[in-house]
Structure 1
Amino acid sequence: MAASVFDSPLFAQLFPTGDTGRLFSDSAAIRAMLLTEGALAKVQGDLGVIPQISGAAIHRAAMEIQVDPGAIAKATGANGVSVPGLVAAFRSEMQAPEHAQFVHWGATSQDIIDTALMLRLRQALALAEADLREILMALGAQAAEHATLPMSARTYGQHATPTTWGAVLAEWGMPLLDALSELDTLRKSSLWVSLAGASGTASALGEKATETRAGLAKALGLGDPMRSWHTDRTPLLRIADWQGRVMAALAHIGQSLIGLTGSDVQEISLGAAGASSTMPQKQNPVGPSTILALSHQFTGQRATLQAAAAHQHQRDGAAWFAEWMAVPPLCLSLASALEHTKRLASGIAPRPVQMHANLEATLGLIHAEALSFALAGLMPRPEAQAKAKALCLEAMEKRIPLKDLATAAYPKLDTAAFDPVAGAGHAAQDAAEFARRTKDL
Structure 2
Amino acid sequence: MSEHERETGLFTGSVLFGGLWSDGEVAELLADRALIGAMLEVEAVLAEAGEAAGLVPAAAAAAIAATARGLDIDPEMLAAATARDGVPVPALVQRLRRAVTGEAAGFVHLGATSQDVLDSAMMRQAGQVLAVIDRRLAGLVARLTALADAHRATMMAGRTRGQIALPVPLGLRVAGWAAPLIRHRRRLDEMKPRLLVATLGGPVGSLSGIDPGAAARLEAAFAARLGLTLPPMPGHAQRDGLAELGSWLSLVAGALGKIGADLLIMARSEIAEVRIGGAGGSSAMPHKRNPVRAELLVAAAREVAGRSGVLHGALIHAEERDGAAWTAEWQSWPAMAVVTAAALNHADGLLDDLEIDAPAMQARAGDGVDRGSADRFIDRVIAEAALRDGRPSDGRSSDGRSLGGRPSGGKLSGEGEDA
Q: TM-score range by the shorter chain?
A: 0.7 to 0.9
Tell me the secondary structure at the aligned position of residue 16 of structure 2: coil
Whether 1:337 aligns to 2:363 is no
1:433 to 380, 394, 399: 380
Match of 2:49 in 1: 43
Counting only pairs closer than 5 Å after superposition, residues 14-413 of structure 1 correspond to structure 2 as 14-94=20-100, 96-207=101-212, 208-360=214-366
Structure of higher CA gyration radius: 1
Distance 2:337 2:314 in 1: 17
Equivalent residue letter for 2:193: K
Give the Cα–Cα distance (whole angstroms) in 2 for the partners of residues 172 and 315 of structure 1.
41
Instruction: Determine the C-alpha separation between the residues in 1 that align with 2:292 and 2:61.
Output: 53
Q: Structure 2 length as normaliser, TM-score?
A: 0.87
**Contact kept? 1:140, 1:436, Cα under 8 Å:** no
Secondary structure of 2:249's counterpart equals: helix
SS in 2 for 1:223: coil
Query: Which sits farther off after the overlay, 350-359 or 216-225?
Result: 350-359
Q: 2:321 is aligned with what amino acid?
A: R
Question: What is the CA–CA distance in structure 1 between the aligned matches of 2:257 and 2:225, rounded to whole Å?
Answer: 38
* 1:162 positional shift: 1.1
**Which piece of structure 1 moves more, 289-298 or 12-21?**
12-21
- CA–CA separation in structure 2 for the residues paired with 1:158 and 1:274: 28
**1:310-331 CA distances to partner (integer Å, 9 max, x unpaired)?**
0111111111111112121111
Give the distance between the partners of 2:184 and 2:338, measured in 1 at CA: 18
* Partners of 2:44 and 2:207 in 1: CA distance: 19
CA contact (8 A) 1:153 1:161 kept: yes
Q: CA offsets per residue over residues 282-320 of structure 1, 9 Å max, x none?
A: 111100111111112112211111111101111111111
Q: Does the CA contact (< 8 Å) of 1:190 and 1:239 recur in 2? A: yes
Q: Secondary structure at the match of 2:193?
A: helix
Match in the other structure for 2:395: none
Question: Is there any run of 5+ residues in structure 1 with no aligned partner, and where?
Answer: 361-418
Contact persistence 2:140–2:348 (CA under 8 A): yes
TM-score (normalizing by structure 1): 0.83
Conserved in 1, the CA contact under 8 Å of 2:22 and 2:339?
no
Report SS of the residue matched to 1:6: coil
CA distance in 1 between partners of 2:183 and 2:59 (Å)? 48
Percent identity over paired residues: 34
Q: Secondary structure of the equivalent of 2:347?
A: helix
Q: Separation in 1 of the partners of 2:217 and 2:350?
A: 49
Alpha-carbon offset, residue 62 of structure 1: 1.7
Displacement after TM superposition at 1:273 (Å): 0.9
Distance 1:144 1:60 in 2: 54
Give me the CA root mean square deviation.
1.7
Question: Would the aligned equivalents of 2:13 and 2:22 in 1 still touch at CA under 8 Å?
Answer: no
1:421 corresponds to which of 360, 364, 369: 369
Per-residue deviation, 1:153: 1.1
Unaligned runs of 5+ in 2: 390-419
Q: 2 CA distance for matches of 1:272 and 1:38?
A: 48
Equivalence for 2:393 = none
Aligned residues: 381
